[in-house]
Amino acid sequence: MIDAMPTVSFKDESRYDLIDDCNEFRWLIECAQKRIRRFLKLSKNEKASIPPSAIEQTQEIGICLLKNLDRRSSDLEALQKRLARKTVADSELRNASATLIDWRSWLRSIYGIAGSLCVSLDWQSPSFDFSVWSQAGLQRGKIEATLSDYKRDHHFDAQDYEKKFFREYVDAPFKVFGSAYACASGMAAFTTAVQSLVGEGKVTGSVLAGASVYFENKELLAKWFGDRLIETDEFDTEGIRAICEKQQPSLIVLDTIGNTASVASSDLEKLIASIGSVIRSETYLILDNTSASICFQPLARMRTMPRKVHLIVIESLNKFHQFGFDRATGGIAWGVGAGISRFFSYRMHLGTNIPDFSVHSLPLPNRALLEKRLLRHGRNAFILASQLEDHVRSGESRFVEQIVYPGLSTYPGYAWMRRRTFHGAFLALRFKEKFRTGKIYRDFVSRVIRRARREKIPLIGGTSFGLSPTRVYLTALHASATEPFVRISAGTETRSEIQCIADCIKKEL
């Protein structure tokens, strides 16, 4: 709980933030309840095909979980009523925030238990037939020999999530020709996408990759394609067009918002149209949309893709889609038409399918709530970026010379990024040249965390983004494909809380 309060009061905005947090929390409870009730119903129907002790034990666990969730739902309703009053004291807001943090931690644990419960009676090699006891769990009657009898290849748990994801989160014409495929991680989605194209003989020419492509992806591309790999500046639309006209690449790899020191982002609408005008043969574009998520809809924004450019969109499910829980690894790839057509087969042969447990540990897709959460991340990232940038430009920072964030007017791609509703959830600190060392970066992160501890401000030293508390991290320290940098990943704190974090970090700049 944050004891200190900023000089300026943001009470009303913080109260509305907490009301939104309650609505999100209620949905997360309902997701868990829905899955557990489904498990109880289906498992009860399997008493004749599964040994009774297994049914009885898991039924007891499910009923106990539902009772706990029901009690917490009642507690939440009481908290929402208190927050709905016209006058709420600062201390009540702080207490409400601390309570929600505690409850979210509890519910995150419940998601792990519930995810395991949902698949507890299932088998990774389910039976398609049996004489006495089935080994198909809750999927008895669905399993077909040689087709759906090995979960490593594919399973019904993932298919259900994939359909909901595509329906809820993807804007595209002719969606009937599109598909989404869940994988073990975002990296698994990327490697499967590339290898599906290589395996089908689609990558015969050069490969073009943005300089700010995620460093692990870039390292793989360098090993796979060697001298055929061309690196390009994402900000230089005309330069990319010229390279495409001359080199005619078979594969292009870009990140919507780069997770690097430059946080680079291309003018994708203009770029793809420009590429389409010079490409003479089939080209495949893999777009990593993890950093922008559903707030950037490539097919909706492009309206029509150039005929010879085939799009595959990949995204990590570890970030925004878990609503801060960071409970299980996962990734997803989707597309419409030729680009995604062979993904399913290669996911099966590469063994990159998402585990059944992971699927049931993910919140169900909910576009309205996810968009609201993304905008909170974006608001908080902009508050941190703009206030730290003002601090740097005033000359008060000893170590840092620039704050890099796509929502700032100083950002090189601001001309096109200003048109977007979401500019990302993280910012990079560009240190002065004489301070660009791993030791100084580590010391800075440690100092910020120590100060936050003294001021009793929740702040995390850790990797990733899209989580509820703000995180500070030295990124890519051991990478060979990119320079290390200090990243601040904004959380979903209330307006008052994010102001306290901004004030805290400024003292260590």
Specify the CATH number for the domain of residue 419: 3.90.1150.10
Pair 161, 229 in one domain:
yes
Q: Is residue 136 part of a domain?
A: no
| Residues 17 and 94 grouped into a single domain | yes
Angle (CA) 231-234-240 rounded to 5° is 70
Task: Tell me, yes or no, whether 129 lies in a domain.
Answer: no
Does any domain span residue 335? Answer: yes
Ranges of H-type helices in 119-226? 156-169, 186-199, 215-225
Same domain (yes/no): 318, 410? no
Same-domain status, 300 and 256: yes
Specify the pTM.
0.95
Look at residue 4 and tell me if it is in a domain: no
Residues 182, 287: one domain? yes
> Tens place of pLDDT for every residue, the chain, 509 residues?
455 545 456 899 999 999 999 999 999 999 999 999 999 999 999 999 999 999 999 999 999 999 999 999 999 999 999 999 988 999 999 999 999 999 999 999 999 999 999 999 999 999 999 999 999 999 999 999 999 999 999 999 999 999 999 999 999 887 778 899 999 999 999 999 999 999 999 999 999 999 999 999 999 999 999 999 999 999 999 999 999 999 999 999 999 999 999 999 999 999 998 998 999 999 999 999 999 999 999 988 666 678 899 999 999 999 999 999 999 999 999 998 888 999 999 999 999 999 999 999 999 999 999 999 999 999 999 999 999 999 999 999 999 999 999 999 999 999 999 999 999 999 999 999 999 999 999 999 999 999 999 999 999 999 999 999 999 999 878 777 678 999 999 999 999 999 999 999 999 99
Task: Check: CB of residue 310 under 8 Å from CB of residue 282.
Answer: yes
The number of domains in the chain is 3
CA distance 263 to 487: 10
CATH number, domain at 264? Answer: 3.40.640.10
Q: Show which of 331, 360, 389 is a domain's final residue.
A: 360
Kindly state the helix (H) or strand (E) to which residue 383 belongs, with its residue range. helix 367-393
> 18: domain range?
11-118
Half-sphere CA count of 364, side-chain side, radius 13 A: 15
Whether the Cβ atoms of residue 420 and residue 407 lie closer than 8 Å to each other: no
Mark whether 346 and 413 lie in a shared domain: no
Give the residue from 102, 118, 134 where a domain finishes: 118
How confident is the model at residue 9, as a pLDDT? 64
Identify whether residues 164 and 260 lie together within a single domain: yes
Domain assignment present for residue 50? The answer is yes
Q: Looking at the structure, tell me whether residues 348 and 415 fall in a common domain.
A: no
* Domain annotation covers residue 55: yes
Are 387 and 288 members of one domain?
no
**End residue of a domain, out of 99, 118, 137:** 118
* Domain co-membership, 354 together with 416: no
Residue 139 resides in a domain: no
**What is the Cα–Cα distance from 207 to 189, expressed in whole angstroms?**
18
Whether 77 and 22 map to the same domain: the answer is yes
Instruction: Assess if residue 158 is contained within a domain.
Output: yes
Residue 1's pLDDT is 47
Q: Are residues 241 and 339 in the same domain?
A: yes
